[in-house]
Structure 1
């Protein structure tokens, strides 16, 4: 399939838990740019994030990121500035976009910024349409023969999301994939 001229950015975050309204926060982020069906390695951004909260034992066991690991990492305001830069004139790609975007909105609110206003595509939504139900990222990767593993670390999981998205794009083409294009302008709390 022919690729369009858009830059797509696969994004993944890791968090201290699953409830941003309960105080869980972002502790790692990765952004993997894709242009013309290829991952652009020199444009990749990945960083630990210091949300100024402790990482609970359970989250440490899942992500292998400790409170000590994030002490000197950039804060939420710095990381959000990077996300905004990457989202300008690009289309973000997530697996379970609502989860990641909600956390990013809470982060913006916490540092006194407006929520994100971005265009995105969700590979989970594509899998729901294709298979009648949403499939986990690792299931899609396995079924598509993608060698990269989901590790619950932002870089690895964003790479898997990028690879899944590239396969979906190659299967469906620009017109069909763009039926999944959505706009996020913050969520209601």
Structure 2
């Protein structure tokens, strides 16, 4: 698989789907118009506003029926984690989840039966995220599900910059082969709490982001543009 450190989700919103109000679509369309993705490339990482997030899903393949069952996120500016500015929601599941997924995430079919619809949760998540840069650990998973959901609900992908945390690991410490969130946390002395809970995983990733912002600054990488240029030289 080709490594892509930056994902761009672009497009114009089409018609609304069932459960998606005209007001919601209008809001998201306006957010797209106001979003200035390219400008974030030059903002110093120590000043960049990001939304670090995580999703829990029923599997790995949204085009084969796997679903988002929870979303968790937290705001970060530079290396400052905004502990009080978080987002978390379950997502109604269209079919029963497996015992394996229930055991892994701690979520039950009873909880997901009465949870908000994906259209409602995703809209609230985008309202929380605004035009911030999105950050996730191994973001290709989040990318696939967000693109699939955005197309399903809005008939177009959504326009956000999505940065993969593993990109930062590769630039800051290329000699290490850090893969899992557990490995990255252990390497950086971060206690692992609440694993496979979307908000708790987002908080762990936010701690890693705050650490690597400073590691990269010491290497002379002060913006996303610097990181991209350093990556092309590796």
TM-score by length of 1: 0.85
Find the counterpart in structure 1 of residue 95 from structure 2: 53
Q: CA deviation at 1:41?
A: 2.4
Tell me how many residue pairs correspond in the alignment.
Answer: 180
Q: CA deviation at 1:3?
A: 5.5
* Structure 1 CA distance for aligned equivalents of residues 71 and 118 of structure 2: 10
Find the counterpart in structure 2 of residue 145 from structure 1: 189
Runs of 4 or more above 4 Å deviation? none
Find the counterpart in structure 1 of residue 164 from structure 2: 122
Find the counterpart in structure 2 of residue 41 from structure 1: 83
Please list every run of 5 or more consecutive structure 1 residues that lacks an aligned counterpart in the other structure.
182-189
Backbone CA RMSD of aligned residues = 2.1
* Structure 1 CA distance for aligned equivalents of residues 103 and 69 of structure 2: 14
Among 202, 205, 211, the residue aligned to 1:161: 205
* Structure 2 CA distance for aligned equivalents of residues 75 and 66 of structure 1: 16
Deviation digits for residues 45-101 of structure 1, max 9, x if unmatched?
011111422212221121111111112211111122123223333111100111111
* Structure 2 CA distance for aligned equivalents of residues 26 and 161 of structure 1: 19
Decide which structure has the larger Cα Rg and report it: 2
Q: CA deviation at 1:23?
A: 0.6
SS at match of 2:84: helix
For the 8 Å contact 2:81–2:210, the answer to whether it is kept is: no
SS at match of 1:43: strand
Please list every run of 5 or more consecutive structure 2 residues that lacks an aligned counterpart in the other structure.
1-43, 229-234
Higher relative contact order, structure no. (Cα contacts within 8 Å, ≥ 6 residues apart)? 2
Find the counterpart in structure 1 of residue 51 from structure 2: 9
Q: CA deviation at 1:180?
A: 4.4
* Structure 1 CA distance for aligned equivalents of residues 143 and 223 of structure 2: 20
